[in-house]
Structure 1
Amino acid sequence: MSISIRGQVISTELDNGSSAMAQDVIIFRYPKENITSKSIIIVQPTEKCVVVIQGQIAAELPPGTHNIQSPANPVSAFLSKFRYNQLPYDTIVYFVSTTRHEVRLTGVSQTDDLVPLEYEVAVYFRVQNPSLLITNVQFGAQFFRDADLAAYISPIVDQEVSQVLNHVKLIEVFKKFGDITTAVTAGLKTFLSEIGIELISVRMIKLIPQDPELRRILQLRDLGIEIYDAVRLGLARLLAEKSDPASVNMALGIPYFPELSTIVVSGAPYTTTGVMLGNQGGNTPGGQSSGGTNPSLFQAAIKQVFGDVKTSGTKNDEQ
């Protein structure tokens, strides 16, 4: 910004025609070295201007053109009170946006059954009292943006969201959107009003489990699939990604025994028909006597554990 041409004009307009008040800018601090006693402050229709002299708020200027030396100007009244002929060096001019702004806050909370949930909340607001906002926020840069305010109010939002979610089971979480919105609105309305900001509305945008597999299972359940079938389909997908042949059986809910032609019990090999292989009635390859095991008892045990297996080597699953 040229001192020789625009040094006496304090505004958010830049030399290239653009504005320093971007869409996400809440407060713009004008460089104080460009301020002189003959300066003219131009405030745009979507802004208000706060003039701070030696740590005190001297004026809050509405939209329009303001000549500092004009007797009706509050800055001039401030100077005459202290008998200043020109602006002190430590004079700061803040331009504050009065348009509607939106910030989005994200975080992670958990339900009563310790399921981590990701949430996203949209907060809509506008600055109601620029002077109060200037005295309550701290920023070291030239701009105070929506992201800075989001970081400022994030603990309040997280607290209100957690107070609802921490007492709700996962299966009832999605019925609590209204309760969460009400809690966040109540908490933010009080907090923001204390720093000069008017809360317009709060909207709950996202509330989903942090685990992607659990999200897919809940989506299948919402499509009308029973919860146990939804879990099985989720496991089937994981098996399919690993090229495991049991994935089809998992999806269908059918047992899968890849190699059940021979089962070894206590060192003695048996077929699925209950016939002992090899040295019948003698010592087994493990060195122990078979002791005349009853094949029918063995078949009953196999059926109890694995189900009714009719043929060996059939791809029938494992859960």
Structure 2
Amino acid sequence: MSFTIRGQVVSTELDNGSSAMGQDVIIFRYPKENITSKSIIIVQPTERCVVVIQGQIAAELPPGSHNIQSPANPLSAFLSRFKYNQLPFDTVIFYVSTTRHEVRLAGVSQTDDLVPLEYEVAVYFRVQNPSLLATNVQFGGQFFRDADLAAYISPIVDQEVSQVLNHVKLIDVFKKFGDITTAVTAGLKTFLSEIGIELISVRMIKLIPQDPELRRILQLRDLGIEIYDAVRLGLARILAEKSDPASVNMALGIPYFPDLSTIVVSGGSPYMTGIMTGGNPGQAPGTGSGGIVTSSSPALQTAIKQIFGDVKTSGTRDDQQ
């Protein structure tokens, strides 16, 4: 993007009628070439102009038209003091926006019980001291935008949010919106005032668990569902997405049992050897055809009845009940 000067007029207005001061632009640094002592500096109603000559702030110009050679212009006084006939080559002009701006900052913190939480904070501000701001921020291009300021203050916001969340249990997090807002406001107000920015307000936009499953459980809990039922419904949804028939039982809170008539017990467990009976002559004790341990032991039958109810398993003989 190139900027030209029409008739020695220095302004943020471009040749196509648009403005270099976009909605998210805080500071615009005007190209320093072609600025002469015959230039006229025009400042729009929503701007302030900071003129820096040889590393010193020579003037802060309010909205209006400013002729450098006018005796009442602070730049002419600067030139006369140093006996300059024209502006030196190292003259830099900053246009600073004085309108209200908004930046949003997002990050991740955690609660006292180590639950990761995503947060988002909206910060509203305006520039109160343009000269102080222009000398306290650094930017390599021609623009200093809202995103640049957000990156500048992000560590402070993260610190203030974490100081509150790190000492709160998850169940009490959503009661701390006011405390987080107060902490962030106090931390930012002091810091921003040091660089010439007036903090208008801070608003907590988002504070949710990073895990989507945990978010759904908390939503069900806030609808009036008991926490254990909410967890069960969350698990039921996961099972339903996998086409698992147990999802209905999980949602209803009813145990799901498979067809126990198909259950056989493998003979690999050493503690079952010798206590099982049945099978063909020549086979190991407690094994049926194919080396499968049958569930004909009275002790095993009793255990199965205690767990699953009065059912019969494969290999059970009526005369052993």
Pair in the same fold by TM > 0.5: yes
The answer to whether 1:284 aligns with 2:287 is yes
> Residues 15-45 of structure 1: CA distance to partner in whole angstroms, max 9, x if unpaired?
1111111110000111111311100011111
Match of 1:80 in 2: 80
Choose which of 297, 300, 304 in structure 2 pairs with 1:293: 297
Q: Which residue is 1:240 aligned to?
A: 240
On the 8 A contact 2:278/2:296 being kept in 1, the answer is no
Instruction: Please give the TM-score of this superposition, normalised by the length of structure 1.
Output: 0.88
Inter-CA distance 235–280: structure 2 relative to 1 (3 Å threshold): farther
Letter in 1 for 2:119: Y
Amino acid at match of 1:165: L
Distance 1:287 1:79 in 2: 107
- Look up the match of 1:317: none
Query: 1: distance between equivalents of 2:145 and 2:151?
Result: 10
Aligned to 1:52: 52
TM-score by length of 2: 0.87
Structure 2: how far apart are the matches of 1:206 and 1:212?
A: 14
**In 2: Cα distance, 1:71 partner to 1:16 partner:** 33
CA apart distance, 1:280? 9.3
Q: Superposition pairs for residues 173-188 of structure 1, below 5 Å?
A: 173-188=173-188
Per-residue deviation, residues 228-276 of structure 1 (Å, max 9, x unmatched): 11111111111111111111111112222233214334739xxxxxxx9
Identify if the C-alpha distance between structure 1 residues 280 and 183 changes in structure 2 by more than 3 Å, giving closer, same or farther.
farther
Stretches of structure 1 that go unaligned for 5 or more consecutive residues are 269-275, 313-319
Q: 1:87 to 1:231 in 2, by over 3 A?
A: same
Q: Is the 8 A contact 2:264 2:295 kept in 1?
A: no
Secondary structure, aligned partner of 2:92: strand
- In the superposition, relative to structure 1, how do residues 311 and 151 fare at CA in structure 2: closer, same or farther (>3 Å)? farther
Residue identity opposite 2:297 in structure 1: T
CA RMSD of aligned residues (A): 2.5
Count matched residues: 301
Using the TM superposition, give the Cα deviation of residue 138 of structure 1 relative to its aligned residue in structure 2, in angstroms.
0.3
- 1:41 corresponds in structure 2 to 41
Residues 277 and 57 (structure 1), Cα distance of their counterparts in 2 relative to 1, 3 Å cut: same
Q: Distance in 2 between matches of 1:227 and 1:217?
A: 8
Partner of 1:147: 147
Alignment partner, residue 104 of structure 1: 104
1:273 corresponds to:
none
**Could you give the per-residue CA deviations for residues 129-155 of structure 1, whole angstroms, max 9, x where no partner exists?**
000001100000111000000000000
Identity rate of aligned residues, in percent? 85
